[in-house]
Amino acid sequence: MRLFLTLLLALTSIPCYAQYAQADYAREQRWAAEITPAILVGDPVQLALPAGRKFLGIYTPNSKAQAGVVVVHGLGVHPDWGLINPLRSQLAEQGYATLSVQMPVLAAELRGDQYPPLFPEAAARIAVAVKFLQDKGHKKIAIVSHSFGSRMTNSLLNQPDAPAITAWVSIGIVGEYTHPATLKAPVLDLYGEKDFPEVLELAARRAAVIQNIRGSAQIRVAGADHYFNNMENELVRNVKLFLDRATR
């Protein structure tokens, strides 16, 4: 409860520039209406923040799951977009229960540097997703996040009363890890050889941070771009190998 109160307080103390960078909830609803009928693996679920706002999740159970995995998408998309679909569906086929969640989005024309005001709500949503999987009986919870979704996850894990997780797979994080002393679980920093310049340029700094976190690793996937286009199977393979070690 303290975590939810902290995050909700942060939502009310965002600087004034958030006035022109407010979450586009109508866009979320359009995403949900578009993708829900087409979901072939997993079931749509409605999750809710403590204040009552609901958001979409896609839950794929596995009766023999080794752990639960929260899957967090990147900038301005939805929980079944691009590489998120193979991550959430293939990991569920290979021994994990997955819950892919809708992050708050801005209007399509707004830029990534206008997203930080949404991080408190994004962090609160991820915390709700962790609780959902815990309530399903999963004692071990991992987070797999992509791009700006990794920055949103980082924001949650920086909180002093963040939920305990077993592992974090950060794929193509745009930027550095903030407040690294707050990161407790093993981290896999995974990115592509042809990733965005801002991902590649900070790889050494990220490696220096996570080397102090037991069980962590950094992997650069040869030939992969930021979205792992046509290399989704290689992406899932690397994620699964790390999760298998971290959650055994």
Domain span at residue 118 reads 2-247
* CATH number where 208 lies: 3.40.50.1820
Q: Look at the block and give the residue holding tokens 């009363």.
A: 161
Q: Are 163 and 131 in contact (CB under 8 A)?
A: yes
Strands (E), 49-166: 54-60, 67-72, 96-101, 141-146
Q: What angle do CA 196, 172, 59 make, to 5 degrees?
A: 135
Q: Which among 238, 227, 127 is positioned nearest to 174, based on CA atoms?
A: 227
Give 201-230 as a DSSP string: HTHHHHHHHHTTSTT-EEEEEEEEETT-TT
Structure tokens at 9: 């307080």
Give the pLDDT of the chain (248 residues) as one tens digit per residue: 444 334 433 443 334 334 446 888 999 999 899 999 999 999 999 999 998 999 999 999 999 998 999 999 999 899 999 999 999 999 999 999 999 999 998 877 777 778 888 899 999 999 999 999 999 999 999 999 999 999 999 999 999 999 999 999 999 999 899 999 999 999 999 999 999 999 999 999 999 999 999 999 999 999 999 999 999 999 999 999 999 999 99
pLDDT at 112: 72
pLDDT at 21: 65
Q: Are 246 and 186 in contact (CB under 8 A)?
A: yes
β pairing state of 67-72 and 43-48 = unpaired
- pTM equals 0.90
Domain total in the chain: 1
pLDDT at 109: 75
